[in-house]
Amino acid sequence: MGQYLDQRGVTATVMTVGGAVNTVYLRSRRSTHDVDFFLATPNAVEHTVVNEAARSAARNARSQRGQIGANWFNNATQLFMGPNIQAALAQGAIDQNAIVHQYRGSRGGIVVYAAPWAYAFCGKLNRLCETNYRPYDLDDAVSYLHQYLRSNRRRTVSAAEIKQWCRDFRKNVTDAILDQVNAQYDAVYGTQPISRP
């Protein structure tokens, strides 16, 4: 994708959440079936060329290594956020500066940032509230919370603050889910970082 964008003189800045972050940045999973991304705004000028680059990469991968799905690089996550939230998350990702991937050519390229840890964490909390959560969702939530705490030089975060994040991002969370995250975090890191009054 980066080479395609370089050839067209475009530098794209995209944010990603989910499997790509776990696989490439955190190395907490071996693989992912897709890359969920969003741009700074729903109408970003890079949108068309980024999609063209993804299709080109898919064609190239199919011819060299085997099949990857046509929607391997998709912005479906963007459908669930309003434009103001999207812009704030994009800026938060850039400020956080957790670079998942980058390619810089002489004329263009791509920089892929991890979405803000608080947002990624709330996404996993929301998934854990559903009946169709995946086996790795609890571990992902713990990883994202750990990254949030590390990057903000904190040891704890209150349940009230987490609930406010979830309201801001339109995600669900329950006290029972926070208890599960605390217990799993304790199993991995030896402490329970979610505090209650």
Burial of 81 (0-12, 13-18, 19+ CB in 10 A): middle
DSSP H helices, 65-189, are 83-96, 117-128, 137-151, 159-168, 175-189
What was the pLDDT predicted at 33? 64
Which positions ≥6 away from 103 have C-beta within 8 Å? Answer: 1, 2, 3, 5, 6, 109, 110
Whole-angstrom distance, CA of residue 84 vs CA of residue 70: 29
Domain ranges of the chain: 2-114, 117-195
Cβ atoms of 57 and 5 closer than 8 Å: no
End-to-end CA distance of the chain: 48
pLDDT 10s digits, 5-39: 888 898 889 898 888 898 889 988 777 666 677 88
What was the pLDDT predicted at 107? 94
Q: pLDDT at residue 66 above 80?
A: no
Specify the range with the lowest mean pLDDT, choosing from 42-51, 60-69, 105-114, 165-174: 60-69
Confidence of residue 102 (pLDDT cuts 50, 70, 90): very high
pLDDT averaged over the chain?
86
Whole-angstrom distance, CA of residue 85 vs CA of residue 168: 8
Q: pLDDT at residue 77 above 80?
A: no
Residue with tokens 């064609």: 59
Cβ atoms of 12 and 5 closer than 8 Å: yes
For residue 119, the 8-state DSSP code is H
Which positions ≥6 away from 182 have C-beta within 8 Å? Answer: 192, 193, 194
Whole-angstrom distance, CA of residue 177 vs CA of residue 122: 11
Burial of 87 (0-12, 13-18, 19+ CB in 10 A): middle
Confidence of residue 63 (pLDDT cuts 50, 70, 90): very low
pTM across the whole model: 0.87
Q: What is the mean pLDDT of residues 59-82?
A: 63
